[in-house]
C-alpha cells in the first residue's frame, strides 16, 4: 500500500516564453550568479520505495501541493492542464452521442440519499454531512454528494413522462466528496476529486447496453491513446459491481512496480432498480406504463495518478506528448564568446515555428540557472522533448532534440524542424504505450490451481484464472488471501475471453469454470 508523506521542496520560478525576446547582456557589468547545482533529484527510487517515490514526483513535478486537510490536495496548473486536455477529447465525443452537459447541486437531502437501500449502504461510510450553519445546528443534516444518482433521479422522474421524452442523456463535470478512508494518495485516493459523471435513461435495455460499451470504449481511448496506458476492458463481478446497479463494466490498468490492479473508469448499467425506487416511469408508444432503463458512467482525476505511476522514472514525471501542456521545451546553451543574441533569437524563432504548427512549445530564458539545471528541471516535470540550441547548432543551422522517454539525442536541420518534431512526438507517444504494455504483459500469469494462484500473487502478478463465477467463492478467496498486503479480489472478467476448454475447473473451488477472470491485489 502506498504510504504518503508531506514533502518539502524548493519552489521553482515557472519558465515561459517572454513577450519580448531576451537581449544578451553586455560584458563589463556585475556578473549574475548562475546556479549549477540542481537540487532537483528524487531521494527515493521507483523500484526501491514506490510510495515515497510517487509522493516526491507529484510534488516536485509541480502537479499537486498538500493541503491542510488530510486527503485533500491542490491541483496545480501542470496537472489541471492534463485534465483539461482529456476533457477536450471526451466532451465533444459524448456530444456526438447527443449527451448534454448540466449541473446539479453538491448537496443531498437524507431522504433521497437513503431511498435506494443497496446504493446508500455501499456509500454510507464515505458520506460527509453538513450539520451546522454558523453556530446553529441544522434541523436536518445535509449530505455532500459521493455520487449523483440520488441527486438527479427525482428530477428524471419529473421530466420523463412519455416515450418522446426518451432517451434523456445528461453529463456533469463536477467534484465529489468521499470521506471515510485510510492511506490517502494524491490522484488515486482523495477525499475530494474531480470527475465527469454521465446519467442516461432509455426506453429499452438494448439501448442502455449499447451505450455502456460505447462509453467504455471512450475510456479505453483516454487511457491508451492519450495517457499511453494499456487497459483491459471487462465486466465486474457481482461482489465488485456498483452498489444498486445491474452490472458494471470497467477498464483495468496494472502497476507492475506494486503488483496492483487499478480500476481506471467504470460504465454501469443500472437496470431498472433506480427507476423503481424513484418512480421514473413513462408511457410507451402503445400507451402502456413502463419503467426506464438507466446507465451511469464516470472517469476521474485518478487517471492522472495512473499515468504517473506507469510512466514515471527516477528522474521524475514522464508525460505522453498528447497530454503534455508543454510538448517541447527549448533551452539556449550559450558559451563564452558565443553569439549569445543569435542563440536567443534562434530559440525564439524555434518556439514560434513550432507553435504556429500546432505544437505546444515553450522556452526557458532564465539567466540565473545553468543549462544543466534547466535540463533536470524539465525532466522532473516530464516534458516529452527538449531542444538545445548552442553555438555549433547555430553555425550548422540545426537544433539538438533530446527525448524524455529514452534519453536519445537527435540533431535536426532547422529546415526540417516541424516535420521531424511531429514525428518524434508521435514516436514518443507510441513508445511509451509499447513499453508500458510490454511491462504489463510480463506481469500477467495464467494459472489453473490454488497453489499456482498463491505463488503468482506473492510474485505480484496480474492473474488470469478459470472461475466458477460464484460470490461465495470470491468471498472465500478474499478471506484466504487477507494479509498486510491486502486481499486478492476479482479485477474484471475480460470481454476478450480465452478459450475455456471443456472440463476446466475453477482454480479456487474445483467446480466447473464458466469464465476466465483477472484477479489480484488492487488500489
C-alpha 253/C-alpha 304 separation (Å) is 12
H or E stretch including 363? Answer: strand 361-363
Residue of 115, 211, 133 whose CA lies nearest to 166:
211
Grid look-up 496492483 returns: 260
Residue of 457, 423, 419, 461 whose CA lies nearest to 442:
461
Do residues 214 and 198 lie in contact, with contact meaning Cβ atoms separated by under 8 Å?
Answer: no
C-alpha 291/C-alpha 282 separation (Å) is 6
At 460-500, the pLDDT tens digits run 999 999 999 999 999 999 999 998 788 999 999 999 999 99
Strands 328-332 and 385-389: parallel
pLDDT band at 12 (very low <50, low <70, confident <90, very high): very low
- Dihedral sign, CA of 320, 322, 325, 327? positive
Q: Is the pLDDT of residue 14 over 70?
A: no
Q: How far is CA 297 from the centre of its chain?
A: 15
C-alpha 293/C-alpha 281 separation (Å) is 10
What local confidence, expressed as pLDDT, does residue 337 receive?
Answer: 78
* φ/ψ bin of 228: left (φ > 0), alpha (ψ from -120 to 50), beta (otherwise): left
Kindly state the greatest CA–CA separation across the chain.
91
Helix axes 417-443, 302-311, angle to 10 degrees: 90
The domains located in the chain, with CATH, are 51-311 (3.30.930.10), 328-431 (3.40.50.800), 444-520 (3.30.110.30)
Residue of 232, 251, 230, 254 whose CA lies nearest to 437:
230
Q: By mean pLDDT, which of 3-17, 40-54, 333-347, 477-491 is the weakest?
A: 3-17
Q: Is the pLDDT of residue 335 over 90?
A: no
SS3 281: strand
Average pLDDT score over residue span 82-99: 98
DSSP character at residue 226? I
C-alpha 110/C-alpha 144 separation (Å) is 10
Do residues 357 and 422 lie in contact, with contact meaning Cβ atoms separated by under 8 Å?
Answer: yes
- Contacts for 503 with CB less than 8 Å, ≥ 6 apart: 512
pLDDT band at 21 (very low <50, low <70, confident <90, very high): low
Grid look-up 530559440 returns: 347
What local confidence, expressed as pLDDT, does residue 509 receive?
Answer: 98
Cβ atoms within 10 Å of 32's Cβ, excluding its own:
8
What local confidence, expressed as pLDDT, does residue 13 receive?
Answer: 35
At 310-331, the pLDDT tens digits run 999 999 999 999 999 999 999 9
Q: How is the beta sheet containing 107-108 ordered, strand by strand?
A: 107-108, 136-144, 128-133
Q: Is the pLDDT of residue 25 over 60?
A: no
The structure's pTM equals: 0.92
Q: By mean pLDDT, which of 36-50, 101-115, 390-404 is the weakest?
A: 36-50
C-alpha 486/C-alpha 482 separation (Å) is 6
Q: By mean pLDDT, which of 69-78, 137-146, 336-345, 464-473 is the weakest?
A: 336-345
pLDDT band at 27 (very low <50, low <70, confident <90, very high): very low
Q: Is the pLDDT of residue 119 over 90?
A: no
C-alpha 340/C-alpha 377 separation (Å) is 22
Residue of 96, 78, 204, 193 whose CA lies nearest to 145:
193
Q: By mean pLDDT, which of 10-19, 245-254, 355-364, 432-441 is the weakest?
A: 10-19
Beta bridge pairs of residue 300: 195
C-alpha 275/C-alpha 106 separation (Å) is 22
Amino acid at each position: 500500500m502506498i504510504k504518503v508523506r508531506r514533502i518539502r521542496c524548493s519552489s521553482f520560478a515557472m519558465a515561459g516564453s517572454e513577450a519580448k525576446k531576451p537581449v544578451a547582456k553586455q560584458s563589463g557589468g556585475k556578473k549574475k550568479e548562475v546556479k549549477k547545482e540542481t537540487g532537483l533529484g528524487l531521494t527515493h527510487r521507483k523500484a526501491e520505495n514506490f510510495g515515497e517515490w510517487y509522493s516526491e514526483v507529484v510534488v516536485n513535478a509541480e502537479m499537486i501541493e498538500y493541503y491542510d486537510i488530510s486527503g485533500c490536495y491542490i491541483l496545480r496548473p501542470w496537472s489541471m492542464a492534463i485534465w483539461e486536455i482529456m476533457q477536450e477529447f471526451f466532451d465533444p465525443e459524448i456530444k456526438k452521442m447527443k449527451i448534454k452537459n448540466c449541473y446539479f447541486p453538491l448537496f443531498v437531502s437524507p431522504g433521497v440519499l437513503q431511498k435506494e437501500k443497496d446504493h446508500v449502504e455501499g456509500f454510507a461510510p464515505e458520506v460527509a454531512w453538513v450539520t451546522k450553519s454558523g453556530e446553529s445546528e441544522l434541523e436536518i443534516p445535509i449530505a455532500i454528494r459521493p455520487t449523483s444518482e440520488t441527486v438527479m433521479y427525482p428530477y428524471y422522474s419529473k421530466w420523463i413522462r412519455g416515450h418522446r421524452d426518451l432517451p434523456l442523456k445528461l453529463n456533469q463535470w463536477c467534484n465529489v466528496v468521499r470521506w471515510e478512508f485510510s492511506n490517502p494518495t494524491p490522484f488515486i485516493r482523495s477525499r475530494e476529486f474531480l470527475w465527469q459523471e454521465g446519467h442516461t435513461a432509455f426506453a429499452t435495455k438494448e439501448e442502455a447496453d449499447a451505450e455502456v460499451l460505447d462509453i467504455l470504449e471512450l475510456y479505453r481511448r483516454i487511457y491508451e491513446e492519450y495517457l499511453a496506458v494499456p487497459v483491459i476492458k471487462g465486466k465486474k463481478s457481482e461482489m465488485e459491481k456498483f452498489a444498486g446497479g445491474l452490472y458494471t463494466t470497467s477498464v483495468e490498468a496494472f502497476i507492475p512496480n506494486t503488483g496492483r490492479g487499478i480500476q481506471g473508469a467504470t460504465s454501469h448499467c443500472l437496470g431498472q432498480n433506480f427507476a423503481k425506487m424513484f418512480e421514473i416511469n413513462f408511457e410507451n408508444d402503445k400507451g402502456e406504463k413502463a419503467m426506464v432503463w438507466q446507465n451511469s458512467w464516470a472517469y476521474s482525476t485518478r487517471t492522472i495518478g495512473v499515468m504517473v505511476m506507469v510512466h514515471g522514472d527516477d528522474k521524475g514525471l514522464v508525460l505522453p506528448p498528447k497530454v503534455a501542456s508543454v510538448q517541447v521545451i527549448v533551452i539556449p546553451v550559450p558559451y563564452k564568446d558565443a553569439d549569445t543574441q543569435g542563440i536567443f533569437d534562434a530559440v525564439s524563432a524555434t518556439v514560434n515555428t513550432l507553435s504556429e504548427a500546432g505544437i505546444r512549445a515553450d522556452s526557458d530564458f532564465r539567466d540565473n540557472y545553468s543549462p544543466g539545471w534547466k535540463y533536470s528541471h524539465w525532466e522532473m516535470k516530464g516534458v516529452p522533448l527538449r531542444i538545445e540550441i548552442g553555438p555549433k547548432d547555430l553555425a550548422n543551422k540545426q537544433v539538438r532534440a533530446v527525448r524524455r522517454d529514452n534519453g536519445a539525442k537527435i540533431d535536426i536541420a532547422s529546415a526540417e524542424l516541424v516535420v521531424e518534431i511531429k514525428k518524434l512526438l508521435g514516436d514518443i507517444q507510441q513508445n511509451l504505450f509499447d513499453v508500458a504494455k510490454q511491462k504489463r504483459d510480463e506481469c500477467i500469469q495464467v494459472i489453473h490451481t490454488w497453489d499456482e494462484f498463491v505463488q503468482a500473487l506473492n510474485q505480484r502478478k496480474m492473474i488470469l484464472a478459470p472461475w466458477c463465477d460464484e460470490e461465495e467463492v470470491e468471498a472465500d478467496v478474499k478471506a484466504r488471501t487477507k494479509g498486510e498486503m491486502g486481499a486478492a479480489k476479482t479485477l474484471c472478467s475480460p470481454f476478450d475471453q480465452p478459450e475455456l476448454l471443456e472440463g476446466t475447473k475453477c482454480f479456487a473451488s474445483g467446480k466447473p469454470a464458466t469464465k476466465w477472470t483477472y484477479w489480484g491485489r488492487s488500489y
